[in-house]
Amino acid sequence: GRRARHGAAMMGPDYTWWHGIYEVGQHFYFKFLPEVRATGDMEAITYIDNLLANDPLHQWLSRPTAELKEEIRSGKMQELYKDFFQPVSGGK
């Protein structure tokens, strides 16, 4: 969120990660999603289940930690994210 963007702009890795991205993930996966499930709205629950099962950016949640660590170390995980972080070229 806002803290992550500000932390990145100010080159503050602690704010970018712990006060930014970590909090976004913590709230999304461990607060927001359980609240949605608690509503009993089957359309919303089905959407969330589909998102978590089929979107590669969310599949880490259901995978073993050792497997994820190996993919990070080997560079395989970078392949998943490389298209999201392409440098802007050709102008301002």
- CA 81 centroid distance within chain: 10
Kindly indicate the confidence band of residue 3, based on its pLDDT and cuts at 50, 70 and 90: low
pTM given for the model: 0.61
pLDDT tens-place string over residues 17-52:
666 678 888 889 999 999 999 999 999 999 999 999
Tell me the C-alpha distance between 6 and 47, whole Å: 31
**Amino acid 69: pLDDT:** 92
**Amino acid 65: pLDDT:** 92
pLDDT tens-place string over residues 44-90:
999 999 999 998 888 888 889 999 899 889 988 888 777 777 766 66
Sequence spans of domains, the chain: 1-40
